[in-house]
Amino acid sequence: MDTVHVAALVGSLREASYTRLACEHLLATADAHDHVETDLIDLQSFDLPPYNSDRDSPGDSAELLDRVGRADAILLATPNYHGSYSGVLKNALDYCGRDEFGGKTVGLVAIAGGAYSSSPLDHLRVVARTIDAWVTPRQVAIQNASARFEDGELTDEAHADRLDALAEQLVAYADLDPDERAGVE
């Protein structure tokens, strides 16, 4: 079986980010498959100035494009910021486009401090569709985040199960070839 590359883009820079912990949980589940390689794309360790199309490959943008480009399936994970996804993730996505995402499988996770609202997931779904990604029907929202994690681990079983199921869906559909299935040359 060909190696499948699953990456997660962490949309929070916070040191103790629940979004990062959720990404680590999901990638660990995916990594349990022998044919899967994973990549935690932690924007905290990237120098990514606010996107400006006048500037050619500033900071670590080339590395970002390279790592997203190598992935077959990509998790977009964000904190809920004012009912939408984070500016940090938006900035990273603005550097990317169809070259990195076109035809690829994308999963979505949103982490909220308060009660769940689906809007960050809805907004990311629109962005992913616009750059020609195939977004999985399954998505995960973790509300009241501080009650679900303990000592750097996701301890809430129901949400862990949902992340595991999303990981399995990303692995299962990572080699989706939509054009071939649709008969497009």
Residue (143 or 169) nearer to ligand FMN, CB: 143
Distances (CA, A) of 52 to 48, 59, 68, 92: 11, 12, 19, 12
We find the least distance from the C-beta atom of residue 80 to ligand FMN, in angstroms, to be 4
We find the least distance from the C-beta atom of residue 112 to ligand FMN, in angstroms, to be 3
Place of tokens 């959720």: 22
Residues making contact with ligand FMN (CB under 6 A): 12, 14, 17-19, 79-83, 111-114, 145
Instruction: Give the integer Cα–Cα distance in Å for 6 and 52.
Output: 28
User: Phi-psi bin for 153: left (phi > 0), alpha (psi -120 to 50), beta?
Assistant: beta
Residue (81 or 95) nearer to ligand FMN, CB: 81
We find the least distance from the C-beta atom of residue 51 to ligand FMN, in angstroms, to be 19
Strand-pairing partners, residue 7, are 39, 74
We find the least distance from the C-beta atom of residue 90 to ligand FMN, in angstroms, to be 13
SS3 1: coil
Residue (71 or 79) nearer to ligand FMN, CB: 79
Instruction: Give the integer Cα–Cα distance in Å for 148 and 25.
Output: 13
Residue (41 or 174) nearer to ligand FMN, CB: 41
